[in-house]
Every structure is written in C-alpha cells, then in structure tokens.
C-alpha cells in the first residue's frame, strides 16, 4: 500500500453513527480559493494517526528551505482554553456545547493566527481544521448541515492532508505512550460502552466514517498513515512542493511575528514518531 491511498467508506456496527438529516451542502466559505499571498496547509486524522508528527517534520523542512512558517493547532485559543479544560474536568460538556466551544476557538484563531500571516505571505500550518468538526461533531450526533453552516466563515486551505489509520493501530499508538485513554477522547460521554477501550473503538469508528464523507466532499489528500514515517514525509513534501510551485513569498526568514497580533512562530520541533 502506498502512503497516498484512496479513501474507501468504512462499515461499522449499526450503532456506530447517529441518524442525521442527510447529505450536507458544502460550506459557503469553500466555494473559491482564498486571495491571500500566503499558503494554508492543514492536516487531519483521528487521534494516534501520526498527523502531528508529519506536520512538524514538514515545518522543519520548510524552515530549512528558507520559508517563513507559522504554526497553529486545534483548541489552542486562549479565549476558550480554560473553559474547555474546566468542562472536560467536570465532564459537563455536551455535544452542542463542545461544538460551539470549538467553533469559537477556530474563529478566534482564524482571525488572529491564520489570516494575518496569510496576508503577510507566510506559510501557515494548521494541526486540524474545520474538517475535525465535520467529523467529530457529527459523530457526536450534531446535524452535518448545521455544523458546516456554523463554520461557513472559514477559508479554504490550499492543501489538506488526511492521515487515514485503522482504529486498532491508532489505539495501540496511544496506549504505547500513556496508560489510559481520556474520557472525551474515548467518547465516554456518549454512553457507547462502560469500557473506555471499547468506547474509544466505537467512537473513532464513527469519526472514520465521517472523515470518509469529508474526503469525498472536500477532496482531501489521503495518506496511508500505517506507512513508514519517512516514506509518508517524502510524499507530503512532494505534494507540498507541487502546491508551492506558484507561491511567491514576500520574505524568506524562517520565522516571523504575526502582524496584527498573535504569538511568535514556534521553533521547529519534532515529537517522538507514532508508529
């Protein structure tokens, strides 16, 4: 199997997905490419897919090529970070409040940490994008059309990777790094099973099913996340290089401050690979 693989619809148990209102319409923000001089590259995948490792490797490579890079990740806005932590700690988050909090996080980062560097001609790397909501929120029971409309203000990325991995591989990677699975990560709030591992498997199966729909709807580049890390990175760089062929950076300094606010570009760092 090659790293860039075709996505196929995943079949799961009958209870593996809540009923929805049918095929959603494409979100309004995705009709046309954005007009900013920078480039937006995002990665998606279930927990344990290795997407973060691949994005960090790509970041280090782009910086080594002299590009100015800015990094942002899901659920990192200071505006809602403490609220999210509190809700998780008290286990009071519902599918609706979870969805709205993540939408607030994304809106804050889009306008302060994504659009400004794009306007300045930087390459923005995002660890998760709106597709995470399209998969997770719907897997939690939210209506797919409603979720897409909620994120209608989003801009379309220039390149979107989806790292596809079986649930059992994902689970093995997570448990190899820590002793237990987190409550919401396992979907325990959905009462799928009293056993965290079984609940995780059922919940992630739902998410995989939604990701398959997202891939077809938004034409994400599918990567075989079970392939060798270096082999995956080679493909990621090749695809990114093709996308950047028409890119004309305003400056090539490796790192920069975000105009209009935001944090400094973090130094390139690589976490331990998830095999």
Over residues 24-34, the mean pLDDT reads 62
Do the beta carbons of residue 211 and residue 17 sit within 8 Å?
A: no
Residue-range domains of the chain with CATH: 32-246 (3.40.50.300)
Sign of CA dihedral 212, 42, 198, 203: negative
The structure tokens listed for 171 are 């689970």
The structure tokens listed for 219 are 């034409």
Average pLDDT along the chain: 85
Q: Is pLDDT of 41 > 50?
A: yes
- Any idea which residue has 């597709």 for tokens? 131
Rounded CA separation 16/21 (Å): 16
Specify the pLDDT at position 259.
39
Over residues 40-62, the mean pLDDT reads 97
pLDDT in tens, 89-98: 999 999 999 9
Residues 6 or more apart in contact with residue 130 via CB below 8 angstroms = 27, 106, 151, 154
Sign of CA dihedral 43, 46, 47, 49: negative
């Amino acid at each position: 199997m090659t790293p860039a693989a075709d996505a196929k619809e995943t079949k799961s148990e009958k209870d593996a997905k809540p009923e929805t209102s049918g095929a959603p319409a494409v979100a309004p923000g995705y009709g046309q490419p954005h007009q900013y001089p920078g480039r937006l590259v995002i990665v998606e995948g279930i927990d344990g897919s290795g997407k973060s490792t691949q994005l960090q490797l790509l970041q280090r490579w782009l910086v080594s090529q002299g590009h100015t890079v800015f990094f942002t990740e899901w659920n990192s806005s200071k505006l809602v970070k403490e609220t999210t932590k509190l809700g998780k700690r008290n286990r009071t988050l519902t599918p609706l409040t979870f969805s709205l909090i993540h939408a607030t996080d994304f809106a804050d980062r889009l306008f302060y940490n994504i659009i400004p560097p794009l306007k300045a001609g930087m390459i923005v790397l995002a660890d998760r994008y709106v597709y995470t909501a399209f998969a997770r929120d719907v897997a939690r029971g939210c209506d797919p059309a409603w979720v897409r409309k909620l994120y209608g203000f989003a801009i379309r990325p220039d390149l979107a990777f989806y790292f596809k991995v079986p649930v059992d591989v994902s689970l093995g990677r997570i448990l190899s790094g820590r002793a237990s699975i987190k409550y919401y990560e396992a979907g325990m709030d959905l009462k799928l099973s009293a056993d965290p591992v079984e609940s995780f498997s059922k919940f992630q199966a739902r998410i995989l099913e939604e990701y398959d729909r997202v891939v077809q709807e938004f034409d994400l580049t599918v990567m075989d996340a079970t392939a060798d890390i270096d082999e995956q990175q080679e493909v990621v760089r090749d695809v990114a290089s093709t996308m950047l062929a028409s890119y004309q950076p305003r400056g090539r300094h490796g790192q920069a401050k975000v105009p209009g606010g935001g944090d400094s570009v973090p130094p390139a760092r690589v976490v331990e690979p998830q095999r």
